[in-house]
Protein backbone atom coordinates (compact mmCIF):
# COMPACT_ATOMS: atom_id res chain seq x y z
CA UNK A 1 0.00 0.00 0.00
CA UNK A 2 2.97 2.27 0.63
CA UNK A 3 3.97 1.91 -3.02
CA UNK A 4 0.40 2.72 -4.11
CA UNK A 5 0.56 5.90 -2.04
CA UNK A 6 3.89 6.79 -3.69
CA UNK A 7 2.32 6.28 -7.12
CA UNK A 8 -0.57 8.51 -6.06
CA UNK A 9 1.78 11.29 -4.98
CA UNK A 10 3.78 10.95 -8.20
CA UNK A 11 0.56 11.16 -10.25
CA UNK A 12 -0.40 14.33 -8.40
CA UNK A 13 3.01 15.82 -9.14
CA UNK A 14 2.35 15.16 -12.86
CA UNK A 15 -0.97 16.98 -12.66
CA UNK A 16 -3.02 13.78 -12.67
CA UNK A 17 -5.67 13.00 -10.08
CA UNK A 18 -3.48 11.45 -7.35
CA UNK A 19 -4.52 7.81 -7.25
CA UNK A 20 -2.07 4.91 -7.28
CA UNK A 21 -2.43 1.17 -7.82
CA UNK A 22 -0.15 -1.84 -7.43
CA UNK A 23 -0.56 -5.44 -8.60
CA UNK A 24 1.08 -8.11 -6.45
CA UNK A 25 1.42 -11.79 -7.31
CA UNK A 26 2.97 -14.30 -4.90
CA UNK A 27 4.45 -11.50 -2.82
CA UNK A 28 6.08 -9.78 -5.80
CA UNK A 29 5.10 -6.43 -7.27
CA UNK A 30 4.21 -7.11 -10.92
CA UNK A 31 3.10 -3.60 -11.85
CA UNK A 32 2.38 -0.23 -10.33
CA UNK A 33 0.91 2.91 -11.80
CA UNK A 34 -0.73 6.19 -11.00
CA UNK A 35 -3.57 7.78 -12.94
CA UNK A 36 -2.39 8.49 -16.51
CA UNK A 37 -5.50 9.91 -18.17
CA UNK A 38 -3.96 13.28 -18.97
CA UNK A 39 -0.60 11.89 -20.04
CA UNK A 40 -2.18 9.41 -22.45
CA UNK A 41 -5.29 11.40 -23.37
CA UNK A 42 -7.13 8.27 -22.36
CA UNK A 43 -10.04 8.49 -19.97
CA UNK A 44 -9.77 4.76 -19.28
CA UNK A 45 -6.18 5.10 -17.97
CA UNK A 46 -7.19 5.09 -14.32
CA UNK A 47 -4.46 3.79 -12.02
CA UNK A 48 -6.13 0.39 -11.63
CA UNK A 49 -6.63 -0.19 -15.35
CA UNK A 50 -3.11 1.07 -16.12
CA UNK A 51 -1.61 -1.27 -13.51
CA UNK A 52 -3.69 -4.23 -14.75
CA UNK A 53 -2.56 -3.58 -18.34
CA UNK A 54 1.09 -3.43 -17.24
CA UNK A 55 0.76 -6.59 -15.17
CA UNK A 56 -0.90 -8.53 -18.01
CA UNK A 57 1.81 -7.36 -20.38
CA UNK A 58 4.56 -8.32 -17.93
CA UNK A 59 3.10 -11.79 -17.48
CA UNK A 60 2.04 -12.24 -21.10
CA UNK A 61 -1.49 -13.22 -20.17
CA UNK A 62 -4.94 -11.67 -20.26
CA UNK A 63 -5.95 -12.50 -16.69
CA UNK A 64 -4.30 -12.05 -13.31
CA UNK A 65 -5.73 -15.04 -11.46
CA UNK A 66 -4.35 -15.16 -7.93
CA UNK A 67 -3.01 -11.62 -8.01
CA UNK A 68 -3.97 -8.91 -5.55
CA UNK A 69 -4.53 -5.24 -6.32
CA UNK A 70 -3.85 -2.35 -3.96
CA UNK A 71 -5.33 1.04 -4.78
CA UNK A 72 -5.49 4.24 -2.77
CA UNK A 73 -9.15 5.04 -3.51
CA UNK A 74 -12.26 2.92 -3.85
CA UNK A 75 -12.37 1.89 -7.54
CA UNK A 76 -14.97 3.40 -9.85
CA UNK A 77 -17.43 1.14 -11.66
CA UNK A 78 -15.18 0.83 -14.74
CA UNK A 79 -12.20 -0.22 -12.64
CA UNK A 80 -14.30 -2.52 -10.46
CA UNK A 81 -15.36 -4.28 -13.66
CA UNK A 82 -11.78 -4.45 -14.99
CA UNK A 83 -10.64 -5.93 -11.66
CA UNK A 84 -13.39 -8.54 -11.93
CA UNK A 85 -12.58 -9.37 -15.56
CA UNK A 86 -8.88 -9.73 -14.68
CA UNK A 87 -9.85 -12.27 -11.98
CA UNK A 88 -8.03 -10.36 -9.25
CA UNK A 89 -8.12 -12.40 -6.04
CA UNK A 90 -8.11 -9.64 -3.42
CA UNK A 91 -8.78 -5.95 -3.69
CA UNK A 92 -7.32 -3.68 -1.03
CA UNK A 93 -8.35 -0.05 -1.21
CA UNK A 94 -7.69 3.04 0.89
CA UNK A 95 -10.28 5.79 1.09
CA UNK A 96 -13.94 5.30 0.30
CA UNK A 97 -15.35 7.25 -2.63
CA UNK A 98 -19.06 7.81 -2.02
CA UNK A 99 -19.25 10.15 -5.03
CA UNK A 100 -17.53 7.99 -7.63
CA UNK A 101 -16.91 4.54 -6.19
CA UNK A 102 -18.48 1.39 -7.57
CA UNK A 103 -17.49 -1.22 -4.98
CA UNK A 104 -19.08 -0.26 -1.66
CA UNK A 105 -20.70 2.88 -3.10
CA UNK A 106 -22.84 3.52 -6.16
CA UNK A 107 -23.71 0.42 -8.16
CA UNK A 108 -21.81 -1.98 -5.84
CA UNK A 109 -20.61 -3.87 -8.88
CA UNK A 110 -19.53 -7.04 -7.08
CA UNK A 111 -22.94 -7.49 -5.49
CA UNK A 112 -24.72 -7.59 -8.86
CA UNK A 113 -25.90 -10.88 -10.34
CA UNK A 114 -24.22 -9.89 -13.62
CA UNK A 115 -20.82 -9.91 -11.90
CA UNK A 116 -19.23 -13.32 -12.45
CA UNK A 117 -16.07 -12.89 -10.40
CA UNK A 118 -15.90 -10.85 -7.24
CA UNK A 119 -12.58 -10.34 -5.46
CA UNK A 120 -12.34 -10.38 -1.69
CA UNK A 121 -12.50 -6.71 -0.73
CA UNK A 122 -10.57 -5.08 2.11
CA UNK A 123 -11.15 -1.38 2.59
CA UNK A 124 -9.70 1.33 4.79
CA UNK A 125 -6.01 0.53 4.23
CA UNK A 126 -4.00 3.72 4.79
CA UNK A 127 -7.23 5.56 4.16
CA UNK A 128 -6.16 8.66 6.10
CA UNK A 129 -3.02 9.14 3.98
CA UNK A 130 -4.88 8.31 0.75
CA UNK A 131 -7.63 10.81 1.52
CA UNK A 132 -5.09 13.43 2.56
CA UNK A 133 -3.24 13.17 -0.78
CA UNK A 134 -6.52 13.69 -2.66
CA UNK A 135 -7.63 16.53 -0.43
CA UNK A 136 -4.30 18.30 -0.81
CA UNK A 137 -4.46 17.95 -4.58
CA UNK A 138 -7.96 19.36 -4.97
CA UNK A 139 -7.29 22.08 -2.43
CA UNK A 140 -4.25 23.12 -4.46
CA UNK A 141 -6.42 23.29 -7.59
CA UNK A 142 -8.84 25.65 -5.90
CA UNK A 143 -6.21 27.99 -4.44
Catalytically annotated residues: 48
46 contributes a contact to Zn ion by CB under 5 A = yes
Shortest distance in whole angstroms from residue 65 CB to Zn ion: 21
Using CB under 5 A, which of the segments 3-11, 36-44, 71-79, 132-140 binds Zn ion?
71-79
Cβ proximity to Zn ion: between 22 and 79 the closer is 79
- Residues 79-108 close enough to bind Zn ion by CB under 5 A: 79
The span of 7-15, 28-36, 39-47, 127-135 binding Zn ion (CB under 5 A) equals: 39-47
Q: Which is nearer to Zn ion, 36 or 46 (CB)?
A: 46
* Cα–Cα distance for residue pair 43/21, rounded to 1 Å: 16
CA distance 44 to 49: 7
Sheet order of strands, 120-123 included? 28-34, 20-25, 68-73, 90-95, 120-123
Q: Cα separation of 71 and 4, whole Å?
A: 6
Shortest separation between residue 51's beta carbon and Zn ion, angstroms: 11
**Residue from 76, 88, 91, 95 in contact with Zn ion (CB under 5 A):** 76
Exposure pattern of 5-44 as b/e (b: 16+ CB <10 Å)?
bebbbbbbeeebbbbbbbbbbeeeebbbbbbbbeeeeeee
- Our finding on whether 53 is near Zn ion (CB under 5 A) is no
Task: Using CB under 5 A, list all residues that contact Zn ion.
Answer: 46, 76, 79
Amino acid sequence: MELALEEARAAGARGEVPIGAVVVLDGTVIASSGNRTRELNDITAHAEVAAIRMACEALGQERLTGADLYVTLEPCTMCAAAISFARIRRLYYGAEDPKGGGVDSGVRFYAQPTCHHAPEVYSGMSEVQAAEILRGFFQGKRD
